[in-house]
A and B are shown apart, each in its own frame.
Chain A
Amino acid sequence: MSVESLKCKECGATYELGASYACENCFGPLEVTYDYSELDAAGAKRRIQAGSQGIWRYDDFLPFTARPKDPLEPGLTPLVRADRLAERLGLDAEIWVKNDAANPTHSFKDRVVAVAVAKALELGFKTVACASTGNLANAVAAHAAAAGLESYVLVPANLEEQKLLATGIYGTNLVGVRGNYDDVNRLCTQLAETRPWAFVNVNLRPYYAEGSKTLAYETAEQLGWELPDRVVCPIASGSLFTKVARGFQEWTDLGLIAGEQPVFNGAQARGCSPVATAFAEGWDVCKPQKPETIAKSLAIGDPADGPYALEQARNSGGAIDSVDDDEIRAGIRLLAETTGIFTETAGGVTVGVLAKLAERGEIGAGERVVLYITGEGLKTLDATRDSFQMHEIDPDLDSFESAFEHQEVAA
């Protein structure tokens, strides 16, 4: 419990721990800093192992002075060894899937929202809000309901129906904006100036983003306090990508884990790939794009942490790749067939990029690779439509036999 201040990532100016997110000197993003001088690694590990069965087991590394109450505690999702996926891709490597669909609202956004809502309560807010591409909408509506807070959830009006339904049910004020995510985000940035609300990914963003570090902590703990060699992680705003890196680095600096930092591979959809494009072009900032992709949860054309995601990929010896809509659908199918995990389009992007790395021969023999699967397939059902055939038959044996007469029957 060693949270210290907010600090500008660009110019280093420091601020008190309030609801602010942009530096007054240079507009750079503010990030939470901690004073870990009193922390000893062995004691921290013991507290983690004796802690709760979710993200709050890592409360030493989260921005609070006392552990918050959290009725919907997310985290400790399965890390699954995916040998059949490796085999299908022709890899002689250890592939692990971090299945973050196994969270209360079925995406990694529960982690960041749990932290942001706890901070909103601590700061005395009565209403929480967000700009969302869908998963965040589900999480904010649910965690607000659990905490007894009012909520306003702003999304592009053309979102997948499943994501709208799984948001409205919690009794939130659901607002469909006629525009893309970047329009919604601009509107929320403007609303945050006049409304006394906690916008989880605007004025509470420094705290919210810290929640993503728990994905790195869990990965290291579940690997037996070891680092992976490589991670493949989707990029929308770039916040998850950079915070997973920060999580591994923090624990290494503090001596909870040891070794080389992982190579970071970022995954974007071709139809919204400002960060992958900047990586390929050698730019250090992203040129914004108008998204056109089935991976709507990654459809951020103007990614706030784009410059830092680029730095992270380059400094770690990684890359940022993009895949098209067909490759996304194939990725969803491949993961489902080889692991039994049904992911949404963002997961299809991540698997698609893994396949691309395998094809390029970038993954070495024996490498330990962690794939971050951030959301649930039931939320983007359209992407799977017509990808297989159902056998419709009459209820008698002959109909069954004739439906499968050309197929060898497994014993």
Chain B
Amino acid sequence: MAVTVKIPTQLRAATNGDSEVEVSGSTVGEVLDAVFDAHGDLRERITQDGDLRRFVNVYVSGEDIRFQQGLDTAVGESDEVTILPAVAGG
């Protein structure tokens, strides 16, 4: 199942400049693992010891995964996964 993952500007050096990556997976964790398989540099930049770093936010179709099941949050065919820095606002 193809899922679109939106890559923020700060991470595009690790995706050859691509702002979107198409991968497959049925949970956020699987989707991110597939992204890391394609672009190895990304893993260390946004995760630490298997968890998301503390200033990384991930959304499935606009909803923060921390209000859902975190990395186990289900991802459907029409969903878009967005990675954003958590250091804005206020």
Contacts and interface: CB of A to CB of B under 8 A. Distances in A.
B34 interface: no
Determine which residue in B11, B55, B85, B90 has the highest number of CB atoms from chain A within 10 A of its CB, and name it: B90
Interface stretch (A93-101, A185-193, A380-388): A185-193
Given A186-B62, A288-B67, A27 B89 contact: no
Contact of A305 (B62, B64, B85, B90): B90
B39 interface: no
Interface in A29-66: 29-30
Given A23-B10, A27-B10, A205 B66 contact: no
A181 B89 CA distance: 9
Interface stretch (A235-243, A338-346, A354-362): A235-243
B87 A205 contact: yes
Determine which residue in B82, B88, B89 has the highest number of CB atoms from chain A within 10 A of its CB, and name it: B89
A27 B11 CA distance: 9
Contact of A193 (B9, B53, B54, B66): B9
B89 A304 contact: yes
Nearest to A202: B88
A10 B55 contact: yes
Nearest to A236: B90
Contacts of B57: 186, 302
B80 to A, nearest CB: 11
Interface in B9-62: 9-11, 13, 19, 45-46, 53-57, 59, 62
B74 interface: no
B90 A27 contact: no
Interface size class of B (residues with CB under 8 A): 20 to 34
Contact of A205 (B45, B64, B67, B88): B88
Interface string A10-34: 1000000000111111111110000
Given A182-B64, A193-B9, A288-B66, A25 B45 contact: yes
B90 A190 contact: no
A144 interface: no
A152 to B, nearest CB: 15
Contacts of B66: 287-288
Contact of B89 (A25, A193, A237, A307): A237
Nearest to A187: B62
A190 B85 contact: no
Contact of A288 (B8, B62, B64, B90): B64
Contacts of B3: none
B84 interface: yes
A153 interface: no
A285 interface: yes
A43 B62 CA distance: 52
Nearest to B59: A186
Contact of A303 (B53, B56, B90): B90
B85 A27 contact: yes
B62 A304 contact: no
A257 interface: no
Determine which residue in B19, B55, B59, B88 has the highest number of CB atoms from chain A within 10 A of its CB, and name it: B88
Contacts of A199: 88
B4 to A, nearest CB: 14
Interface in B68-90: 82, 84-90
A236 B88 CA distance: 12
Nearest to B55: A27
A300 B10 contact: no
Contacts of A236: 90
B90 A188 contact: no
Determine which residue in B64, B82, B86 has the highest number of CB atoms from chain A within 10 A of its CB, and name it: B86
A131 interface: yes
Contact of B87 (A27, A190, A193): A27
Contacts of B55: 10, 22, 26-29, 304
Contacts of B45: 24-27
A22 B84 CA distance: 10
A237 B8 CA distance: 21
A138 interface: no
A183 interface: yes
B54 A307 contact: yes
A185 B62 CA distance: 11
A190 B84 contact: yes
Contact of A22 (B19, B62, B82, B85): B85
6 contacts: A22-B87, A24-B10, A25-B45, A189-B8, A190-B82, A302-B57
Given A22-B88, A26-B55, A237-B89, 8 more contacts: A22-B8, A186-B64, A188-B89, A189-B84, A205-B87, A237-B90, A288-B67, A305-B90
